[in-house]
A and B are shown apart, each in its own frame.
Chain A
């Protein structure tokens, strides 16, 4: 019980005559002292730590390599030790933050040691080692914060690998899918799932572009993400996968509107692409047909590849319109205000894109923006009115 609860509770005890108000104060003071003690101790440790760090940073080049090494190891072990002790004995949150500091010391240690001893690296290997450490801690403590730490290190390492070496670093990818994915599948929450899916989308982009493949392979990777979110095993916390997958594919379609023209795109490994796409898509259709809500097929529209048949820009627009209108109509019919909201936003964005694409070249700029603004205004007025009706309908 913390102090706040105790204060409330003990007031009743005094009223009921269980303890005297003097006794109550004495009990309360005990708790007060304890928490203050802890906070002070944390700050003391923090200040001393910061003092050391700034001292070392300003004298870093004057130190010999062995002394530097000893300092890094000392801080690594002290922060881990303190973190473990606090976590088990005093406060989980203080302990966790110390563990995160220790993990950062390890990361900094890898790069500092690498620089000290002129290590050369041609891959994101240092990031892999660092994320392994984070993953190890995650296994030990099973804390969301450590999951996020591992996720951030892996994603950063992959982006680094992609931008510096034009390479997708496979060990990081394996740790991400097999390691973090496994933990997420066993037990996770919506926040972690959402972050995992964002990282997946980012890594997909690195994967595709580092191989020099064209963007449309992303359609497959996002479709996989979408399918996983609907695995029929009652893994309800995997739902955010679907939202992120749809969001990503929506953006791809928006890009297609601007980038594709009347000519069809060349497809490398075209058989492979269309074969795997067909299998995944048919599976997704069957999956959505078996679900209790019969409207999931609307999402799938966005995953149809249109770059091959020509006029890809118009077809992408068509897909975006089907998607937005689909959710709007489904929302009205089932009186689901969240679907209506989703459809509304998608519809507004799509309308704006269409307008931009079709009218930008022909109209005078000022008229272009005036009319566009007016159009959106009228649209949002009608959509909002309709949405309120749905919301009202829900309450009645």
Chain B
């Protein structure tokens, strides 16, 4: 009995780690690929240690894109709906605090609310993919421009990852 319980406890732990790994690869199969443009970054200094800091254009938007009364609190979950725009880049359609029905060609992305700037009517959210890890000492090879286009895969279960960056 005790042995069985022990095996279960250990098995669950191994399964959890395997699940984390599998879900990552499963995203390629079930996820949808979108391309997002980043905000301009200082091309001289985008590197902090071994990662690049990225801010996406869809992460800041004006009041009219916000569906709802009051802006939520910092740290609240928000849902962004994006749609394919010019040259394959995806753009924000609307943002709200609840998940909504998607039209053809739309993709929903989970994000976390950051802050609201009432004077400029601007909302700031974070989709959580703000760090792109690169191999150590390869920062030099990384092409330095002020805008990147990032290929992101978003899975139906809310997970997402950066596939490539150019």
Contact = CB atoms under 8 A, between A and B. Distances in A.
A140 B162 contact: no
A139 interface: yes
Nearest to B160: A120
A130 to B, nearest CB: 9
B6 A113 contact: no
Contact of B75 (A139, A140, A165): A165
B14 A137 contact: no
B10 interface: yes
B3 to A, nearest CB: 8
Interface size class of A (residues with CB under 8 A): 20 to 34
Given A137-B9, A166-B75, A110 B17 contact: yes
A61 B136 contact: yes
B88 to A, nearest CB: 22
A136 B20 contact: no
Given A84-B6, A122-B112, A77 B14 contact: yes
Interface residues of A: mostly helix, strand, loop or mixed? helix
A167 B74 CA distance: 11
A80 B6 CA distance: 9
A110 B15 CA distance: 11
A140 B2 contact: yes
Nearest to B131: A118
A139 B12 CA distance: 14
B10, B18, B74, B77 — most chain A CB neighbours (10 Å): B10
A145 interface: no
A29 B9 CA distance: 40
A52 to B, nearest CB: 18
A117 B161 contact: yes
Interface string A86-126: 00000000000000001000100110011101111010000
Contacts of B8: 136
Interface string A44-71: 0000000000000000010001100100
Interface in B146-166: 159-162
A165 B160 CA distance: 20
Contact of A73 (B17, B159, B161): B17
A70 to B, nearest CB: 10
Interface string B59-95: 0000000000000001101000000000000000000
Contacts of B112: 122
A76 B17 contact: yes
Interface residues of B, number: 28
A140 B9 contact: yes
Given A80-B10, A133-B13, A167-B75, A120 B21 contact: no
B17 A69 contact: yes
A167 to B, nearest CB: 6
B128 interface: yes
Interface string A37-49: 0000000000000
A72 interface: yes
B75 A122 contact: yes
A298 interface: no
Contacts of A353: none
A113 B133 CA distance: 14
A42 B13 CA distance: 25
A129 interface: yes
Given A110-B17, A129-B16, A165-B75, A117 B24 contact: yes
B157 to A, nearest CB: 13
Interface in A135-163: 136-137, 139-140
Contacts of A113: 17, 20-21
Interface string A6-34: 00000000000000000000000000000
B33 to A, nearest CB: 15
Contacts of A140: 2, 5-6, 9
A63 to B, nearest CB: 12
Contacts of A117: 20-21, 24, 161
B113 to A, nearest CB: 10
B9 A119 contact: no
Interface in A222-281: none
Contacts of B18: 69, 73
A118 B155 CA distance: 14
A110 B21 CA distance: 10
Contacts of A114: 20
A109 B5 CA distance: 22
B102 interface: no
A136 B17 contact: no
Q: Which 8 A-B pairs have the closest CB atoms?
A: A120-B128, A136-B9, A117-B24, A80-B10, A113-B20, A140-B6, A106-B13, A140-B5
5 contacts: A72-B17, A77-B14, A114-B20, A129-B16, A165-B75
Interface of B: 2, 5-6, 8-10, 12-14, 16-18, 20-21, 24, 74-75, 77, 112, 128-129, 133, 135-136, 159-162
Given A110-B16, A119-B20, 5 more contacts: A117-B161, A118-B161, A122-B128, A129-B16, A136-B5
